[in-house]
Chain A
Amino acid sequence: MMYIKDKKGQNMAALYRITGAALGLMLALVSFAAPISAQQPTLKIDVTGGVIEPVPFAIPTFIAENSASTAIANNITRVIAEDLLSTGLFREIPKAAHISGVSNFNAPVQFADWRAINSQALIVGAVNSSGGRLTVKFRLWDVFAQAPMGDGVQLSGSPENWRRISHKVADAVYSRLTGETGYFDSKIVFVSESGPKNDRRKRLAIMDYDGAGLAYLTNDENIVLAPRFSPNNRDILYTSYETGIPRVYLMNVDTLQRRVFANLPGMGFAPRFAPDGNKIVLSISERGNTDIYTVDLASGQRTRLTSGPSINTAPSFSPDGKQIVFESDRGGSQQLYIMSVNGGDAKRISFGNGRYATPVWSPRGDLVAFTKIVGGRFHIGVMRLDGTQERLLTASFIDEAPTWSPNGRVLMFFRVTSGANGAPQVYSVDITGRNMHQVPTPSFASDPAWSGLLK
């Protein structure tokens, strides 16, 4: 397994510690000019399709600029490598195979030595942790072109944020090699589950995208469902049964302060933020009939978008905030529809066999991810906005509720095993259908929601 489980912070008090520190994070990002080179880099990885041979890279352990920085330099180097390896796009040349070491950040690179072991990319870095301040700098080299890929970059912050700094370095490397923005410096909020199937306990939890740094946001006294991040990644919407019926709550993940949308009638569930963060969309079930509403956060004003006896639920905004994709059984079975943010006529977009549910608009705006139920099996899939080019990426007893990576290249979802001991776990899969793996969590896990890239 490429992921590291962080034992730190597995209780609610620890959340304050972690996120409190994150609030004070002074993540300075300084670029410095690349060394003069006659060559232009040519290394470019296409993440969009085809069979990919993982690109070999070397990452010599980052230079510790003082003895106090040795351990943290090792950890940072490891996390950067794990991030890159987790994409399935890269393969690390073992450090034991390295011919020349790197002992000076500014020393000329011995390209022949790296070429000899077929390392196409080389990541060189240095770490300085002193006086309560951690500084990391790195350069990325195209070994075969003997050229730097972009300027060198220096990041600094408090030492406890070494993971975030590592993820930012990995995001920069990923971005330079693929031309895509990265997704490593991001969070997952999800529902942590425990106990038997007929008495399952659920609580909200938050962790880094790779499962590290887990902290709980609620206790397990009430059923909680489907948390979703705000655009600024600091608030979440979720559903809780704490008053006896499902209602929608808004929580700040730093302070854990929360409020219920008290003025809404009936049962509320399936909430999501609008991209501008100023309103939410949700389902309200009243007298057995479920429809979609928006609620303005400042005024509390509620707007009804659907009507009629059909089930209308699982709404998700387009990235421009102008449209909403949702599921409805108005045509006789669960299918996907797109309507204006103001409601009105909806256009059906799913036409294949089976039932379609939980649509989520991609952050790039080009695709909708969904759950499909056909022939007694559940699938995670993607389709274009007009319903064409449907591709099913997974299949199992229950695969449900995709959530997009910040760059729209990866989906997480949850998979439930069947039977009396059946239980959910969170998985990750590229939208190419490759690189599926379980995301490590300390207990059962469902309803993942991916944040945007952290600032």
Chain B
Amino acid sequence: MTYLTKTAAVLFLFVTAACTSTSGGLFGGSGSDINGAGIGSIDETSLEYFDAAIGSTVLFAVNESSLSGNNIAILDAQAGWLNANQTVSVLIEGHADEQGTREYNIALGSRRASSVRDYLVSQGVADSRISIVSYGKERPIAVCSNASCWSQNRRAVTIVSGGMGV
């Protein structure tokens, strides 16, 4: 799926959810009108929009920190959003799968987070707005012990208005 069709699909899901929800929907706190929800009511400066429509996560090959084509598209969208929303800062978390030793994986996660930061900076995002942290293999999101889970865990996640990093 291309980035654009993915974004369109995600937006469609949100509109549907907002229309059918009785409790404010996914964007309940961001000014959307439940009854009259349309595509124009989505707050494109919201964190939810960033996570769902832009995409917070890029994935890496085994023992790699270089960015592949699909990752570039996501990071271009992140950079565009960050350049349009100059007041927010981000924390980039780097992660590794369980198939490595603890210390090495912290170092590898640091490389991955740094790789994302360097790309965002190259796209005009101020370095001072970006901090990084590595979790190594401490925080897997997929728990099985095979390639399908490991590929999801080898990731860097951009978190808007994140906590302290370096």
| A311:B111 contact, CB within 8 angstroms | yes
Among B24-32, B34-42, B79-87, B97-105, the stretch in contact with A? B97-105
Assess whether B6 is interfacial by the CB under 8 Å rule: no
Q: Chain A, 232-259, contact with B by CB distance < 8 Å: what is the 0/1 string?
A: 0000000001011110000000000000
| A376:B99 contact, CB within 8 angstroms | yes
**Contacting residues, chain B, for A198 (C-beta < 8 A):** 139-143
Q: Chain A, 9-41, contact with B by CB distance < 8 Å: what is the 0/1 string?
A: 000000000000000000000000000000000
**Contacting residues, chain B, for A334 (C-beta < 8 A):** 101, 104
- 19 A-B residue pairs with CB within 8 Å: A198-B139, A200-B138, A226-B103, A241-B135, A243-B164, A245-B164, A246-B134, A265-B166, A266-B166, A267-B106, A286-B166, A288-B113, A289-B110, A311-B111, A313-B104, A314-B101, A357-B100, A419-B144, A422-B145
Among A105-113, A149-157, A386-394, A397-405, the stretch in contact with B? A397-405
Assess whether B57 is interfacial by the CB under 8 Å rule: no
Assess whether A368 is interfacial by the CB under 8 Å rule: no
**Contacting residues, chain B, for A266 (C-beta < 8 A):** 166
| A288:B164 contact, CB within 8 angstroms | no
**Contacting residues, chain A, for B104 (C-beta < 8 A):** 311, 313-314, 327, 329, 334, 357
Assess whether B59 is interfacial by the CB under 8 Å rule: no
| B133:A245 contact, CB within 8 angstroms | yes
Assess whether B124 is interfacial by the CB under 8 Å rule: no
Given the interface pairs A266-B166, A285-B106, A288-B115, the reply to whether A197 lies near B140 with Cβ below 8 Å is yes
The answer for the CA separation of A225 and B134 in the assembled complex, in Å, is: 13
**Contacting residues, chain A, for B103 (C-beta < 8 A):** 226, 269-270, 283, 313-314, 327, 357-358
**Contacting residues, chain A, for B115 (C-beta < 8 A):** 288
- Cross-chain contact of B101 among A241, A358, A376 (Cβ < 8 A): A358
Residues of B within 8 A of A (CB): 65, 98-104, 106-108, 110-111, 113-115, 117-118, 132-135, 138-145, 163-166
| A401:B102 contact, CB within 8 angstroms | yes
Q: Which B-chain residue is minimally distant from A312 (CB atoms)?
A: B107
The answer for the CA separation of A95 and B65 in the assembled complex, in Å, is: 62
The answer for the CA separation of A269 and B140 in the assembled complex, in Å, is: 19
Interface range for A: 35 or more
**Contacting residues, chain A, for B145 (C-beta < 8 A):** 397, 418-420, 422
The answer for the CA separation of A327 and B108 in the assembled complex, in Å, is: 13
**Contacting residues, chain B, for A400 (C-beta < 8 A):** 101-102
* Residue with the greatest number of chain B CB neighbours at <10 A, chosen from A266, A285, A358: A285
The answer for the CA separation of A334 and B113 in the assembled complex, in Å, is: 20
- Distance to closest chain A CB from B53 (angstroms): 25
The answer for the CA separation of A286 and B165 in the assembled complex, in Å, is: 11
| A398:B98 contact, CB within 8 angstroms | yes
The answer for the CA separation of A420 and B144 in the assembled complex, in Å, is: 4
**Contacting residues, chain B, for A246 (C-beta < 8 A):** 106, 133-134
Given the interface pairs A314-B101, A314-B103, A398-B98, the reply to whether A244 lies near B111 with Cβ below 8 Å is no
**Contacting residues, chain B, for A226 (C-beta < 8 A):** 102-103
Assess whether A447 is interfacial by the CB under 8 Å rule: yes
| A373:B102 contact, CB within 8 angstroms | no
The answer for the CA separation of A348 and B107 in the assembled complex, in Å, is: 20
A245-B133, A288-B110, A357-B101 given; 9 more Cβ-contact pairs under 8 Å: A197-B143, A244-B133, A283-B106, A285-B134, A288-B115, A288-B132, A314-B101, A358-B101, A418-B145
Within 8 A of B (CB), among A195-252: 196-198, 200, 223, 225-226, 241, 243-246
Assess whether A173 is interfacial by the CB under 8 Å rule: no
**Contacting residues, chain A, for B134 (C-beta < 8 A):** 246, 267, 285
Assess whether A416 is interfacial by the CB under 8 Å rule: yes
**Contacting residues, chain B, for A373 (C-beta < 8 A):** 99-101
Assess whether A425 is interfacial by the CB under 8 Å rule: no
The answer for the CA separation of A69 and B91 in the assembled complex, in Å, is: 62
Q: Which A-chain residue is minimally distant from B101 (CB atoms)?
A: A357
| A288:B166 contact, CB within 8 angstroms | no
| A269:B132 contact, CB within 8 angstroms | no
- Distance to closest chain B CB from A212 (angstroms): 27
Assess whether A371 is interfacial by the CB under 8 Å rule: yes
The answer for the CA separation of A241 and B143 in the assembled complex, in Å, is: 22
- Distance to closest chain A CB from B84 (angstroms): 26
* Residue with the greatest number of chain B CB neighbours at <10 A, chosen from A225, A246, A289: A246
Q: Which B-chain residue is minimally distant from A200 (CB atoms)?
A: B138
Assess whether A7 is interfacial by the CB under 8 Å rule: no
**Contacting residues, chain A, for B100 (C-beta < 8 A):** 357, 373
| A420:B143 contact, CB within 8 angstroms | yes
| A311:B108 contact, CB within 8 angstroms | yes
**Contacting residues, chain B, for A283 (C-beta < 8 A):** 103, 106-107
The answer for the CA separation of A288 and B138 in the assembled complex, in Å, is: 18
The answer for the CA separation of A180 and B13 in the assembled complex, in Å, is: 70
**Contacting residues, chain A, for B65 (C-beta < 8 A):** 288
| B163:A225 contact, CB within 8 angstroms | no
| A311:B107 contact, CB within 8 angstroms | yes
| A447:B102 contact, CB within 8 angstroms | yes
| A290:B143 contact, CB within 8 angstroms | no
Q: Which A-chain residue is minimally distant from B153 (CB atoms)?
A: A198
**Contacting residues, chain B, for A327 (C-beta < 8 A):** 101, 103-104
**Contacting residues, chain B, for A285 (C-beta < 8 A):** 106-107, 110, 134
The answer for the CA separation of A246 and B135 in the assembled complex, in Å, is: 8
| A223:B133 contact, CB within 8 angstroms | no
